[in-house]
Structure 1
Amino acid sequence: MGSVCRCIICHDYGDRDRLGKFELRTIVHVKQYGWSVILTSPRENRPGWAFTAGLWHTLRSPELVVFGLEPYDMQTIVNNLGDRAAAGHPLVAGQERRDATDRHPVVLRPVHTHWYERLLSEALRFYRHPPLPFLQAVWPDAAGRYPWQAGSDPALGRYQPSLWLSPESHPPGIWTS
């Protein structure tokens, strides 16, 4: 991925006078805090999720997404990881991070670009020219096993999709319908 930022802060797309509330709020948050957190409410029997817009702009760090927890917990995870990236602890695919939340570790997995429009469209509105890197913060079951590990709780797939797989390769269910 190139280091050029094509977000609506860095590039004039000729529509700055017509930006909506979402874009204006995101610009304010990114300028003030370095990124913005977008919370998506549960819908159509799917849990909610949270993701960032602005980490790439501010830090050239991958954006983050997390699924299926309480909104406060998801916001805490992406903000804590963003804070760590800003402090010089880069976000890298495959890392197990114990600094995201006090409750449990998370593993960062790369998000397949075919999910972006389906689940992260608000970030695309901010950046306009993907692809940009996204990492999914995946949390384990009560026994500490991640969805891809043998013996993990099958319910994990209901709460968090496997975005490192393409939509076509993803197990059928609420995330692919």
Structure 2
Amino acid sequence: MLADVRACGWHVVMVPEDAEGPALAYTVGLTQTFRHPELILFGLPLPTMQAILNLAAALIREGQRFPAGTHSKQLLEQTEVRFEQVNARHHDEFLGMARRSTGKVPFAALQIIWPNRAGQFPGPGLPVSVTRQPLLQ
């Protein structure tokens, strides 16, 4: 992981689905390398999430920024995603390697949230199970 961060600026950690929740993937190194919040994504196939996070990190390396509360059509074909701030209370549970890599230094993270096939983002009135994304705001 640290070798990847030194070599290209980030690493993608992938966690398979289990009895406790959907698959997830997140970055390590964006904070240290590019002064950008780490990114986390849930509920898609692991190779898809890895590709999305690598694309986002490459765009960040080129100067793109993804502020909380914004949308982007750059990461999924023909689909808009939303970026939301991750509450720090979730860092240990979902972003453990990112937490370890920064030591005691606080860091920010953004959740990339994708819509279901009907174009609905998870939230009030739409069960998390529809999109397999716990919301970490």
Q: Is the pair's TM-score, using the shorter chain for normalization, greater than 0.5?
A: yes
Contact 1:61/1:90, CA 8 A, preserved across alignment? yes
Relative to structure 1, the CA distance from residue 32 to residue 154 in structure 2 (aligned partners, 3 Å threshold; closer, same or farther) is closer
Amino acid at match of 2:136: L
Deviation at 1:145, TM superposition (A): 1.3
Q: Counterpart of 1:155 in structure 2: which amino acid?
A: S
Verify: 1:95 aligned to 2:70, yes or no. yes
Aligned with 1:99: secondary structure?
strand
More strand by share: 2
Q: Which runs of 5+ in 1 are unaligned?
A: 1-25, 165-177
Find 1:161's aligned residue among 131, 134, 137. 134
Aligned to 1:69: 44
Q: In the alignment, does 2:90 pair up with 1:120?
A: no
* 2:121 is aligned with 1:146: yes
Matched, 1:32 2:1: no
- Distance in 2 (alpha carbons) for counterparts of 1:129 and 1:99: 33
Runs of 4+ in 1 over 2 A off after TM superposition: 152-157
CA distance in 2, matches of 1:129, 1:141: 36
Identity of aligned residues (%): 29
Q: TM-score by structure 1 length?
A: 0.72
Moved more, 66-75 or 94-103: 94-103
CA distance in 2: counterparts of 1:48 and 1:110, whole angstroms: 19
Letter matched to residue 7 of structure 2: Q
| Alignment equivalent of 2:79, drawn from 104, 129, 150 | 104
SS at match of 1:98: strand
Q: Which residue of 2 aligns with 1:15?
A: none
Whether the 8 Å contact between 1:98 and 1:105 is mirrored in structure 2 is yes
In structure 1, distance between residues paired with 2:16 and 2:78: 22
Rg bigger for which structure?
Answer: 1
Distance 1:66 1:101 in 2: 12
Per the alignment, residue 20 of structure 1 pairs with none
Shift of 1:149: 6.2
